[in-house]
Amino acid sequence: IYAFGDSYTDTGNAQLLDSSKNLKKGQEKLNNGWLLIDFVRDALNISSLPPYKSVNANFSSGVNFAMAGATVFTEEFLSQHKINSTLMWKDGYHSFQTQIEWYNKFVSDIACKGKNNESCKADMENSLFWVGEIGIDDYVRALRSKVSLRWIKDMAMAHTSRLLATLLDSGAKYIVVEGLPPLGCYPFAKSSRHFVKDDMNCNAKINRVTKAHNHDLQDMLEGFRRRKGANVSISYADYFDAYKVITGNLNKFGFEDAFKACCGHHRNKILNFSFKILCGMSGAETCRDPDSYIHWDGIHLTEAMYRQLSEFFLH
């Protein structure tokens, strides 16, 4: 497996690069346990999927290139538009282009070292390429800025297209691309003082952009399918609908609350979320039973939620 994405998929790169303010020593992920990619590799009987920045790791079963805090924008753009590029991260900056560069270096220096082009592509054809969410960190960052959410969507599409083209050119044959969940239902989005609610009782504006993002993403994937033909499998993981089904049937899936964060600050008792005191910061508290919560810190999901999502995507 070769995995890409942001903090929803990162299993250690941010921690190894010491770029997260909210990761405690030894903590690899921004939630309370497994991520979706962990359930995916477990279902395929792969014991581990080491992050690319691991030293002396065994990459025989794949690599995780995902990076928490990855952005679709340049550092200059974030600074120019006064977007907080360090929300849950330190000063380290990594765009999604970094992951493409990491992947190309891994292929040339490790995976295909000493092999000809044909042999290299044959190896890649037997791998699963998992592309996690692209753009979430930017939507979160821009929530309190004047940057157009649709502009973020367009940039996310450009990065996704570039990544897919790189993977396909290297010989990738089996690719899964995750859509975005309804971000307007996340505590960070519902914490806005004034917002129009949609039929899910969520932030309508953000969910409209999320739907547009997913619509454009599916159109892009269909374009790649038409160009590459039947020899390549490019699947779409419908995060939005899976999330909607689960939150609409809380008792069935073992959850108590659709919107409240397990780890956060009680300033907002309904959401347990505050941008000023995020999970991991002084003053934040953690719930007693994370398995009954969908949201971990108001931005990321709990292991229990990822477990349920994996059932939708893998079965």
Residues classed as catalytic: 7, 297, 300
Residue burial 90-105, b: 16+ Cβ < 10 Å; e: rest: eeebbbbebbbebbee
Q: How would you class 158 by CB atoms within 10 Å of its CB: exposed for 0-12, middle for 13-18, buried for 19 or more?
A: middle
Q: Are strands 257-261 and 293-295 parallel, antiparallel or unpaired?
A: parallel
Q: What angle do CA 172, 150, 4 make, to 5 degrees?
A: 25
Residues 244, 99, 13, 207, Cα dihedral to 10° = -20
In angstroms, the CA 230 to CA 245 distance is 31
In angstroms, the CA 238 to CA 92 distance is 31
Residues 163, 167, 172, 176, Cα dihedral to 10° = -20
Output the six-digit token pair for 193.
């003082």
Backbone angles phi, psi at 300, to 5 degrees: -115, 160
Q: Cβ–Cβ contacts within 10 Å for residue 186, how many?
A: 27
Q: Identify the CA nearest to 53 among candidates 124, 102, 111.
A: 102
